[in-house]
């Protein structure tokens, strides 16, 4: 009897992904040295930056040396590109070697320009390829990409990643697509955002197609942070596993493996460090802080835009640098959150994700779609703050409002004793608004919805 041999790819780049910590650290340091040298010779910005800070680039040799360098931010990039500057001073190759150029969405001001060489494309694609393979995708999979193409890097480089693995891509570019795509092409995976995939599941149910019984085996979510509860509900709706990715124009592309215990950072291609702006210092593993990123180039490589010690304004913590159950040795980080979605009330920080967690309590989902928006207002009394939470009801009349409120408050105040105390004292009020279908403000605003807005 001849046994059928089924080839399953376990790793995209086994040698690199399973490298011992010692070898990986040596590789990283070799690339730090090369990248710093490349920056000082090819990036007009860094040429001046090293001189102005009195740093000799050849002295930057290790991970620790990198931590001594000043930190730059998105603001720095904007200051060194038109209209603030006559040229794009972060561009670090000749125009003839720029394959594509991209812009960040520009939600916080002028879009930042990014220049990519073909080598940059290959490295971005490799990061996605590793992530797809670690999630169990392989030859024969058909994946609908709902992330937008255009000036974004993610969807484009994901598509290139698929070519390396033998995945078929259905490049729809948005999450509102007719169900015939599911019925006719029988995709095995979808890349999209949590809320778009929830809306798609509702749309399919309305058309009498049960998402759980569809061809979809895996979902990949990214583009925004989410609560574990909303992920769990999405997984339940689709009857399959949901994997997280953290990608950005700057080139992070971290992905969750089948172990689901955090996102692997492709440490040989991007160096992530965690920084506490209040302490003005880097933190230990396990402590929360801002993600500071450094591009890593292989020796001899060229990059169109590279960044050293770049503050992403996203927050996370390193979970582990030990070998994962999946076999990978690259470190794992927590699901990053956006610093711009963190707000302070009564000396207590809370993130949009904390609000989302309160909404997505499982019992609430008998009454809610999961869509929500929240606003912070100053109250009439001095020092009073109001949080108004609007939730979309499946049926406004049948919604058990008391249960939804109680579930929300119980979850929201967990680990926030000070906030709970000012709530009890009446200085922090939470008002609930139970909206009908499509009745939230965010439906009337174009672009990525802002789900927690500070109107104080
Ligand atoms: Zn893993």
| Each residue's pLDDT tens digit, 116-160 | 999 999 999 999 999 999 999 999 999 999 998 988 899 999 999
CA 454 to centroid of ligand 1, rounded, Å? 37
> Is the confidence at residue 106, as pLDDT, over 70?
no
CA 133 to centroid of ligand 1, rounded, Å? 11
CA 330 to centroid of ligand 1, rounded, Å? 8
State residue 108's pLDDT score: 61
CA 244 to centroid of ligand 1, rounded, Å? 12
State residue 4's pLDDT score: 56
Which comes out higher in pLDDT, residue 3 or 397? 397
CA 14 to centroid of ligand 1, rounded, Å? 12
CA 27 to centroid of ligand 1, rounded, Å? 20
CA 376 to centroid of ligand 1, rounded, Å? 38
CA 332 to centroid of ligand 1, rounded, Å? 8
Only one residue has tokens 């030990």, namely 322
pLDDT level of residue 224 (50, 70, 90 thresholds): confident
Q: Residue range 48-76: average pLDDT? A: 95
CA 333 to centroid of ligand 1, rounded, Å? 11
pTM of the model: 0.93
State residue 346's pLDDT score: 86
pLDDT tens, 349-377?
Answer: 899 999 999 999 999 999 999 999 999 99
Looking at every residue in the chain, the average pLDDT score rounds to 94
CA 265 to centroid of ligand 1, rounded, Å? 10
State residue 328's pLDDT score: 98
State residue 2's pLDDT score: 56
CA 294 to centroid of ligand 1, rounded, Å? 22
CA 132 to centroid of ligand 1, rounded, Å? 12
CA 52 to centroid of ligand 1, rounded, Å? 41
pLDDT level of residue 445 (50, 70, 90 thresholds): confident
CA 394 to centroid of ligand 1, rounded, Å? 37
> Is the confidence at residue 223, as pLDDT, over 90?
no
CA 9 to centroid of ligand 1, rounded, Å? 14
pLDDT tens, 292-333?
Answer: 999 999 999 999 999 999 999 999 999 999 999 999 999 999
Q: Residue range 86-101: average pLDDT? A: 97
CA 135 to centroid of ligand 1, rounded, Å? 9
pLDDT tens, 382-402?
Answer: 789 999 999 999 999 999 999
CB atoms within 10 A of CB 391: 25
pLDDT tens, 403-423?
Answer: 999 999 999 999 899 999 999
> Is the confidence at residue 6, as pLDDT, over 60?
no
């Amino acid at each position: 009897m001849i046994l059928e041999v089924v080839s399953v790819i376990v790793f995209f780049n086994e040698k690199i992904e399973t490298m011992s910590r010692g070898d990986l650290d040596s590789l990283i340091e070799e690339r730090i040295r090369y990248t710093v040298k490349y920056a000082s010779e090819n990036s007009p910005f860094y040429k001046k930056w090293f001189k102005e800070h009195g740093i000799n680039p050849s002295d930057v040799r290790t991970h620790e040396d990198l931590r001594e360098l000043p930190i730059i931010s998105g603001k720095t990039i904007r200051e060194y590109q038109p209209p603030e500057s006559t040229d794009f001073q972060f561009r670090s190759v000749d125009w003839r070697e720029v394959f594509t150029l991209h812009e960040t969405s520009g939600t916080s001001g002028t879009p930042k320009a990014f220049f990519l060489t073909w080598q940059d494309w290959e490295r971005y694609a490799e990061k996605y390829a590793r992530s797809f393979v670690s999630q169990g995708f392989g030859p024969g999979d058909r994946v609908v990409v709902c992330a937008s193409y255009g000036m974004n890097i993610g969807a484009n480089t994901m598509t290139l990643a698929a070519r390396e693995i033998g995945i078929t891509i259905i490049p729809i570019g948005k999450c509102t697509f007719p169900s015939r795509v599911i019925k006719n092409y029988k995709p095995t995976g979808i890349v999209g955002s949590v809320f778009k995939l929830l809306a798609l599941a509702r749309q399919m149910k309305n058309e009498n197609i049960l998402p759980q019984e569809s061809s979809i085996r895996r979902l990949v979510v990214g583009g925004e942070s989410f609560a574990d509860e909303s992920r769990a509900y999405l997984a339940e709706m689709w009857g399959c596993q949901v994997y997280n990715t953290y990608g950005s124009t700057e080139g992070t592309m971290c992905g969750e493996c089948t172990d689901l215990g955090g996102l692997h950072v492709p440490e040989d291609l991007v160096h992530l460090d965690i920084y506490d702006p209040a302490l003005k210092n880097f933190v230990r593993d396990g402590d929360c802080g801002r993600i500071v990123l450094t591009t890593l180039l292989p020796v001899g490589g060229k990059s169109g835009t590279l960044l050293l010690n770049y503050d992403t304004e996203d927050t996370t913590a390193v979970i582990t640098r030990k070998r994962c159950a999946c076999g990978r040795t690259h470190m794992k980080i927590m699901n990053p959150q956006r610093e711009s979605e963190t707000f302070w009330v009564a000396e207590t920080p809370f993130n949009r994700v904390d609000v989302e967690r309160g909404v997505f309590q499982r019992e609430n989902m008998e009454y809610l779609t999961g869509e929500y928006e929240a606003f912070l207002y100053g109250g009439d009394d001095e020092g009073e703050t109001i949080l108004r939470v609007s939730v979309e009801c499946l049926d406004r009349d049948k919604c058990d409002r008391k249960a939804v409120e109680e579930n929300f408050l119980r979850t929201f105040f967990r680990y926030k004793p000070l906030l709970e105390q000012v709530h009890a004292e009446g200085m922090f009020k939470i008002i609930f608004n139970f909206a009908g279908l499509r009745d939230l403000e965010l439906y009337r605003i174009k672009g990525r919805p802002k789900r927690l807005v500070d109107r104080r």
